[in-house]
Amino acid sequence: MQAENGKRRAALWKRYLLGTLLIIVATASATSVAAFREIDKVVDALKDNSLDIDDELAEADAGKPQTIMLIGSDKRPNDPRSGVPNDGPRSDTIILVRLDPSKEATALMSLPRDLKVEIPGHGTDKLNAAYSYGGPKLALKTVKQLTGLRINHVVNVDFGGFRETVNEIGCVYMDVDRRYYNPGGDYAQINVKQGYDRLCGDSALNYVRFRHTDNDLVRSARQQEFLRQVKEQYGVAKLFEDRNELFRIFGDYTQSDIRTRKEVLRLAKLVVASASQPIREVHFEAEIGESFVTASDEKVRALAAQFLGVEDTEGPRGKPGRGGSGGKGRKKPPGNGGGEDSGPSLQPAAPLGQAQARKAKRAGFPVYYPSAVTSGSTFQDDPRVYNIRTPTGGRHRAYRMVLANGDIGEYYGIQGTTWTEPPILEEKFEKITMKGRTFEVHKDGDRIRLVAWRTPSGVYWVSNTLLQTLIRKQMLGIAASTRALRSTR
């Protein structure tokens, strides 16, 4: 039973990817020459899987912002220890999306599946139990009662089409922070290696579904980063090319109240206006306990207001912790805003970094290594040396060094590759000169996501942890400390 449970439990952004692609494809349809014909394809794809929840939804006025609730559900085997009937599906994730072009961004807020809530008619339980008790409608009522938000549409997605969808759009390049490995047995076999690489169906599924040796905050951050890269790498034009196959996938794996031309057009117009705008994450601030994730009513309402205002949450994506359920992390000096003068210091690491570089020198191009790292962090295993396959079939040499920062999910890394134009570096960046070198600073809100630099031999970068807990001073300090070990090839 444990094995079956592990294999069938779906991860957050498998569903969110499908739901997001549904909206984007609708956008492509609305802007095509044969708009109504294409919109009818969207309607036809969804009409056999319509959700009867209209009485719980707020009607969306033309041209006004909309809030969409994305639900991902899975079926789980019976568990006699649970007070919740397991003969039906549970919601594996609930994500709220706010489309408001006037704010020049799209807001996302994930609600923890284990959040302690009051479910109408059923009392206190975990949020994901609402779906088991009463399907999408009760889940919707629970979220409305919890947040006080008016919700315009619900998209309920099964994860079965995830592999098909990722392969259909051409796979996704991801900056994988560490090796994700499970040999099999009680859980599905997984082996996704560290480093910037192309993830296709099975590998992408394993990456977003991984549920061992981390917690809900780390998994959420990993899945959010997957979505970010999908958005950056695939626009409307690409999805429009694949629209007919994507329509089929959506028809097979998606349920929604969106069923008419009017609804599709109103939503599509918002997505058209929002397509080029950035994503702003509202981090759900809560306490992770042994059984429940908890947050006060006041905190939830404050987060809801931030979501409506499409405001980024300052600071890291979450607090690091020891233990699978979160727990309490090791104490660190304060540094909540990414300021250059706060936070823990760096420690010398030149001999260890150089030893890592020697192991990676077979990459065939100069290997940069850090001579300073965050206090208490350690190199994890040997660096990976490999080839990156480009969309056109080319291959470029690459290496990845991984450092563990001491808490659950806290891994950062040093990446190098001869591929001089990887998609991850195509976003806007800030240029900084330090110690006679020029660095590209790529940000996510008020945090630095990565610091890159270029040489005649290739490009290199320092990647932050998934929770983005390394502050500006640390990221820039590590990047400036890097030294090159020349290849002997």
CB contact at 8 A, 291 and 310: no
Residues β-bridged to residue 452: 440, 461
Determine what percent of the chain is predicted with pLDDT higher than 70: 74
Q: How many residues does this entry show for the chain?
A: 489
CA–CA separation, 73 and 160 (whole Å): 10
Q: For residues 231 and 453, give the distance between their C-alpha atoms in angstroms, rounded to a whole number.
A: 24
Over the range 91-100, which residues count as b (16 or more CB within 10 Å of their CB) and which as e? bbbbbbbbbb
Domain boundaries, the chain: 2-308, 346-485
CA distance 379 to 367: 16
Nearest of 232, 196, 177 to residue 420 by alpha carbon: 196
Chain mean pLDDT for the chain? 79
Q: What is the pLDDT of residue 42?
A: 63
pLDDT in tens, 261-314: 777 777 777 776 776 777 888 888 888 777 888 899 999 999 999 999 988 777
Tell me how far apart the alpha carbons of residues 256 and 317 are, in angstroms, rounded to a whole number.
Answer: 30
pLDDT of residue 159: 65
For residue 50, give the DSSP letter.
B
DSSP 118-137: EETTTEEEETTHHHHHHHHH
Please list the ranges in the chain whose pLDDT falls under 50.
1-19, 21-36, 75-87, 322-342, 488-489
Element (H, E) at 98: strand 89-100
How many C-beta atoms surround the C-beta of residue 238 within 10 A?
13
Architecture of domain 2-308: 3-Layer(aba) Sandwich (3.40)
Nearest-angstrom CA–CA distance, 462 and 363: 18
What would the pLDDT profile of 164-178 be if each residue is shown by its tens digit?
A: 778 888 899 999 999
DSSP 340: T
Q: CA-CA distance, 43 to 267, in Å (whole number)?
A: 13
In angstroms, the CA 20 to CA 410 distance is 28
Q: With a threshold of 0.85, does the pTM exceed it? A: no
What does the DSSP assignment read for 242-266?
A: THHHHHHHHHHHEEES--SHHHHHH
